[in-house]
Amino acid sequence: MNYVRNADETLLSCEVETILDHMEDLLNDRLHSSGQLAFIEPDFILILNPKKDLTKDAKYLYVAPGHEIQDIDMEWKIVFRDGKSNDHYLSLRFYREDLTHLQKYLSFITGKISQSDAEIQKMIENGVLCPF
């Protein structure tokens, strides 16, 4: 497989805004069903999964007390197209803390918050972000 993007843009600024909007909805429990975001360049697919009550899922015969609710997550598929119908992909799973960091980062790069924001500074101090 020879996957090269060089200096190509992979996401448009409006697509980054869309990701940020959906991520904020996910983090604030405003999504009630799983959803998928696809983009102009088909290399990325985001699957957003809201909280889920496992006691209402027929897949589970028993759910231990205290584990009834599965928290939010997002799957980010990076698709490697080979020109055939058998595309391959890498799947990355983001959980609440990861999503919070990504949401802060996207807010920063879109200019909604500045580098002096306390959360951005904390992320830099903890090595989550590299200083700019």
CATH of the domain at 90: 2.30.31
Listed as own residue / partner, the contacts of 14-18 with beta carbons closer than 8 Å and 24 or more positions apart are 15/39, 15/40, 16/106, 16/109, 16/110, 17/110
Q: Domain of residue 113: give its range.
A: 13-57+69-125
Confidence of residue 88 (pLDDT cuts 50, 70, 90): confident
Residues 54-67: what's their mean pLDDT?
94
Q: pTM for the whole thing?
A: 0.82
Residue 24 lies in a domain: yes
Residue 110 lies in a domain: yes
Question: Going by C-beta distance under 8 Å and a sequence separation of 6 or more, which residues neighbour residue 92?
Answer: 75, 76, 77, 78
Quote the mean pLDDT of the chain: 88
The total domain count for the chain is 1
Residues 29-39: what's their mean pLDDT?
93
Confidence of residue 86 (pLDDT cuts 50, 70, 90): low
Asked if 41 contacts 16 with a C-beta cutoff of 8 angstroms, the reply is no
Residues 98-124: what's their mean pLDDT?
93
Among 60, 19, 52, 55, smallest CA distance to 36 is for 19
Residue 81 lies in a domain: yes
Per-residue pLDDT at 65 exceeds 90: yes
Residue 3 lies in a domain: no
